[in-house]
Amino acid sequence: MQESHSPRVNTSAEGWLEVIDADSPILLIAPHGGRAEARTRALLNPKVNDLHTADITRGLAARLGASALINVAMDRNRLDCNRISQIVERAPWLLEMIEERVSASIARHGRAVVLLVHGWNIIEPRVDFGLGLRTFGGELRAPGAACVSASDDFINGPLTELAERLRGHGIKPTYGMRYPGGGLQNLLQAFTRRHCESTVASLRAISETAVSGAVEAAQLELSVALRMPGELRSKCEDAIAASFSSAPNGTSAVASRAPIIVNRAPRPASPKREIGAAATVSVPGRVGIEFYDPVARIGAMASFDIGSAGMGARIMVLFEGRRVGLFTAEGRPVRSEKDVRHGPLSLTREGNTIALSFCGPAVIVPDATAYLSIERALASGRLDGSMEVGVRFELPEGEFEFDRILAPSEPGAVAPAASAAFGHAVGSVCIAGATRSVSGFARAGMSFTGLGPQNFSARRMLWACFEDNCDGAPTALEVRSVASDDAPPVESARVLIDEQWNSCELCELVIDTASVEEPPHGVSASIAYPDGRLFSLTGREECFIPLSRPGPEQSRIYTSLGFASFQSGSNRGAGMFEYSRRAESVLTSIDDSDDSDTD
């Protein structure tokens, strides 16, 4: 590799594109290294910019002696530099710059290697390789009409070397698991035969050059843990630099596994699922645990997707100062009759207890309200490389069948008698090197706040568990109220008394907030027992996080989620609440443009 390179800023790019030119066969591109601008706040479902990818790409260019085109400031919601149609319409000169550098590289070296650096907003240490391929039955195949962007030699050479080095650092490599880079407008597809007949001269030239076999291109999707400054990011950068610095033409310095089979035959068309009134929407089955210590004011929620539509796991810890610790992972959890696990997160049945265990990377965000914008939260957060949570939940006597919940469901199978158990949990939480003991109330089983049906206008839910059972107080209770635009609210309530669940009438459930950024100003419920007696409780919010996610039909769902202490007469307890509402316009006043932590 040649070591010399001379950076320069391209003035025609209005200052948002940093250009590094070098005598090298490698071209690095960071399409989404900018930040959200003020106008993005008005969008219901904005895309998240790939934070830190500009810095990472710049650093890799220096280490590899590579050329680079780095978006350092353009919000992808204004111009998406990974979408060919948007580039053609709004920045056609960018394709011309790419074509010039690919052609120059081939003229000097006989080949060009293009690496597109992206961000994947899961926290688990992972790199997803985009090649226009996905793993199907032990081989790589193109999904849909995607074209493959690299040769077998490249895939089984430097890319396999990179995968091996990543595994050695505890980082999981995958091939198109989440982002295969196969969409027609994905910039990766410009480096395939797919655009050979384009009317855009520069795009057609790039595609025709790729057909000659002189271009190898790959998309590298780096998870959050690999982009935030820290040891994991350094290890990932080391692996990339080592894999492409010596032999980008296919020879590998690391002994590889059995060769990866790349099946380039078009994949046969599969029938599409029915869409319409008769279609069935699959909802992820989600199992997990929630616990809260009202003295330490530390709460946590951990859950795993075990249904046919589920593909992930997560743990969130809420603690003092409205801080949040979060780990998320993608892919199917591993489960048996006694446990379910995903990487460093596990939930295990051990005799008469359920043990929650986690030790791994987590993003610590200093202000929970930042999570109304994922980009703002990630920009304000820092990576804790080894957050630890260890909690043991003592199961009460009863018919809670944890093994039945974990077992794969079969058609016609009878549902478990009880979907959740309530009781006491003890353990410890270690965040940023500080360990705290916890002892509080817990609920385990089917996740209380699983997404469920989203076609509602408002949804209010809470669960509570009590220390004593004086004056007819239940051991635990769950209440829900789901309202829609065109139907009466669907309400439910049940109480656990003397180890038996009893259905009740929900008389009132109040969980309201003045704004989506604020915690509930009151949490209360009133229910009627089957014999007509009334039971009421009032709560005080103590840990809270507001969340925002896309809703159906171009809407957005805002959620207030957290833990509270509850009281009913002399009975004291604690539990969890959720208040979600659907909106057709943006409700938050959070200003993403005020963030100072930029790439």
Tokens of 115: 């690496």
Residues of the chain with pLDDT under 70: 1-14, 246-257, 267-284, 308-310, 398-399, 408-418, 450-454, 469-472, 590-599
Statement to judge: residues 395 and 491 lie in one domain? yes
Statement to judge: residues 181 and 306 lie in one domain? no
Statement to judge: residues 401 and 510 lie in one domain? yes
Q: What is the pLDDT of residue 589?
A: 72
Statement to judge: residues 400 and 527 lie in one domain? yes
Statement to judge: residues 86 and 233 lie in one domain? yes
Give CA–CA dist 118/180, Å, rounded: 12
Statement to judge: residues 242 and 144 lie in one domain? yes
Statement to judge: residues 312 and 454 lie in one domain? yes
Statement to judge: residues 299 and 215 lie in one domain? no
Give CA–CA dist 528/149, Å, rounded: 64
Q: Do residues 247 and 158 make contact, with C-beta atoms less than 8 angstroms apart?
A: yes
Residue 268 lies in a domain: no
Residue 272 lies in a domain: no
**How many structural domains is the chain composed of?**
2
Which three-class secondary structure state does DSSP give residue 521?
A: coil
Phi/psi for 152 (5° steps) reads -60, -40
> Residue 201's domain spans which residues?
5-263
Q: What is the pLDDT of residue 127?
A: 98
Residue 109 lies in a domain: yes
Tokens of 317: 């810890």
For residue 372, the one-letter residue type is L
- Is 126 exposed, middle or buried (CB count within 10 Å of its CB: 0-12, 13-18, 19+)? buried
- pLDDT tens digits along 449-496: 765 556 789 999 999 999 876 666 899 999 999 998 888 889 999 999
Tokens of 450: 């699983």
Q: What is the pLDDT of residue 274?
A: 38
Residue 151 lies in a domain: yes
Statement to judge: residues 19 and 143 lie in one domain? yes
Residue 20 lies in a domain: yes
Residue 278 lies in a domain: no
Statement to judge: residues 387 and 500 lie in one domain? yes
Q: What is the pTM of this model?
A: 0.91
Given 208, 231, 263, the domain boundary residue is 263
Q: What is the pLDDT of residue 448?
A: 85
Statement to judge: residues 49 and 145 lie in one domain? yes
Tokens of 12: 């025609």
Q: Do residues 464 and 493 make contact, with C-beta atoms less than 8 angstroms apart?
A: no
Residues 6+ apart with CB under 8 A from 500: none
SS (H, E, C) 530-566: CCCCEEEEEEEEEEEEEEEEEECCCEEEEEEEEEEEE
Statement to judge: residues 158 and 13 lie in one domain? yes
User: Where do the DSSP E strands lie in 124-167?
Assistant: 126-130, 134-136, 139-141
- pLDDT tens digits along 115-166: 999 999 999 999 999 999 999 988 999 999 999 999 999 999 999 999 999 9
Domain CATH for 104: 3.40.630.40
HSE-CB at 330 with a 13 A cutoff on CA atoms is 18
Residue 522 lies in a domain: yes
User: Where do the DSSP E strands lie in 395-486?
Assistant: 420-431, 434-446, 458-466, 476-484
Residue 599 lies in a domain: no
